A and B are shown apart, each in its own frame.
Chain A
Amino acid sequence: MEHYNMNLTLKVWRQKNKEDKGGFQTFQVKDISSEMSFLEMLDILNEQLINEGKDAIAFDHDCREGICGTCSLYINGKPHGEWKGNTTCQLHMRAFKDGETITIEPWRANAFPVIKDLVVDRSSFDRIIQAGGYVSVNTGNAMDGNCLPIDKNRADDSFAAAMCIGCGACVAACKNSSAMLFVSAKVSHLALLPQGEPEKRSRVMNMIAQMDKEGFGACTNTGACEATCPKEISLSNISRLNKEYLFASLTADK
Chain B
Amino acid sequence: MTWKEVFTSSVGKKLVMSFTGIFLILFLVVHVGLNACIWANDGGTMFNAGAHFMGNNVVPRILEIGLFVGLLLHIIQGIMLELSNRSKRNVKYAIDYGNQGSKWYSRSMGLLGTLILIFLVIHLADFWIPNRAHQGFLLGEEINLYEKMKLEFSELWVVIVYTLGCLSLGYHLAHGFQSAFRTIGVHNKRYNLMLTSLGYGFSVVVTFAFIMMPWSFFLHIIQ
Contacts of B3 in A (CB 8 A): 249
Contacts of B6 in A (CB 8 A): 249, 252
Contacts of B89 in A (CB 8 A): 108-110, 177
B169 to chain A, nearest CB (A): 18
Contacts of A240 in B (CB 8 A): 185, 187
A251 to B11, CA, bound (A): 16
Do residues A218 and B93 form an inter-chain contact, with CB atoms below 8 A?
Answer: no
Residue of A nearest to B92 (CB): A108
Do residues B182 and A221 form an inter-chain contact, with CB atoms below 8 A?
Answer: yes
Do residues B10 and A219 form an inter-chain contact, with CB atoms below 8 A?
Answer: yes
Which of A11, A103, A218, A239 is B10 in contact with, Cβ under 8 Å?
Answer: A218
Q: Mark A166-198, 1 if CB is under 8 A from B, else 0.
A: 000000010111100000000000000000000
Do residues A221 and B183 form an inter-chain contact, with CB atoms below 8 A?
Answer: yes
Cβ of A254 under 8 Å from chain B: yes
A89 to chain B, nearest CB (A): 20
Give the number of residues in A that approach B within 8 Å (Cβ atoms). 54
A163 to B149, CA, bound (A): 57
Known: A216-B88, A223-B106. A103 touches B97 (CB 8 A): no
Cβ of A85 under 8 Å from chain B: no
Do residues A221 and B97 form an inter-chain contact, with CB atoms below 8 A?
Answer: no
A250 to B98, CA, bound (A): 37
Cβ of A73 under 8 Å from chain B: no
| B75-101 CB contacts (< 8 Å) to partner A | 81, 84-98, 100-101
A252 to B85, CA, bound (A): 27
Cβ of A111 under 8 Å from chain B: yes
Cβ of B141 under 8 Å from chain A: no
Contacts of B107 in A (CB 8 A): 175, 220, 222, 224
Do residues B183 and A248 form an inter-chain contact, with CB atoms below 8 A?
Answer: no
Contacts of B11 in A (CB 8 A): 208, 218-219, 241-242, 245
Do residues A220 and B85 form an inter-chain contact, with CB atoms below 8 A?
Answer: yes
Do residues B85 and A77 form an inter-chain contact, with CB atoms below 8 A?
Answer: no
Do residues B9 and A252 form an inter-chain contact, with CB atoms below 8 A?
Answer: no
Q: Mark A223-254, 1 if CB is under 8 A from B, else 0.
A: 11111100000011111111111111100101
Contacts of A173 in B (CB 8 A): 97, 101
Which of A78, A216, A219, A249 is B1 in contact with, Cβ under 8 Å?
Answer: A249
Do residues B102 and A227 form an inter-chain contact, with CB atoms below 8 A?
Answer: yes
Contacts of A254 in B (CB 8 A): 1-2
Contacts of B93 in A (CB 8 A): 74, 77, 105, 108
Do residues A110 and B88 form an inter-chain contact, with CB atoms below 8 A?
Answer: yes
Do residues A249 and B12 form an inter-chain contact, with CB atoms below 8 A?
Answer: yes
Contacts of A74 in B (CB 8 A): 93, 95
Which of B6, B14, B182 gathers the greatest number of chain A CB atoms within 10 Å? B182
Cβ of A66 under 8 Å from chain B: no
Cβ of B25 under 8 Å from chain A: no
A9 to B89, CA, bound (A): 27
B101 to chain A, nearest CB (A): 3
Cβ of B192 under 8 Å from chain A: yes
Cβ of B109 under 8 Å from chain A: yes
Known: A177-B88, A240-B187, A242-B11. A220 touches B106 (CB 8 A): yes
A227 to B97, CA, bound (A): 11
Do residues B192 and A239 form an inter-chain contact, with CB atoms below 8 A?
Answer: yes
Do residues B179 and A221 form an inter-chain contact, with CB atoms below 8 A?
Answer: yes
Contacts of B1 in A (CB 8 A): 205, 248-249, 252, 254
Q: Mark B177-201, 1 if CB is under 8 A from A, else 0.
A: 0110011111111001000000000
Known: A176-B85, A241-B11, A242-B184. A77 touches B109 (CB 8 A): no
Taking A77-B98, A178-B10, A242-B184 as given, write out 7 further A-B residue pairs in contact, using a Cβ cutoff of 8 Å, ordered by the A residue number.
A77-B93, A78-B97, A176-B85, A217-B10, A218-B14, A239-B192, A249-B12
A-B contact pairs, 21 of them (CB 8 A): A77-B96, A77-B98, A78-B100, A176-B85, A178-B10, A178-B85, A211-B10, A212-B10, A218-B10, A218-B11, A218-B84, A218-B85, A220-B85, A222-B107, A223-B102, A224-B107, A225-B101, A237-B187, A239-B185, A243-B185, A252-B2
* Contacts from A to B (Cβ < 8 Å): 11, 24, 74, 76-79, 103, 105, 108-111, 173, 175-178, 205, 208-209, 211-212, 215-228, 235-249, 252, 254
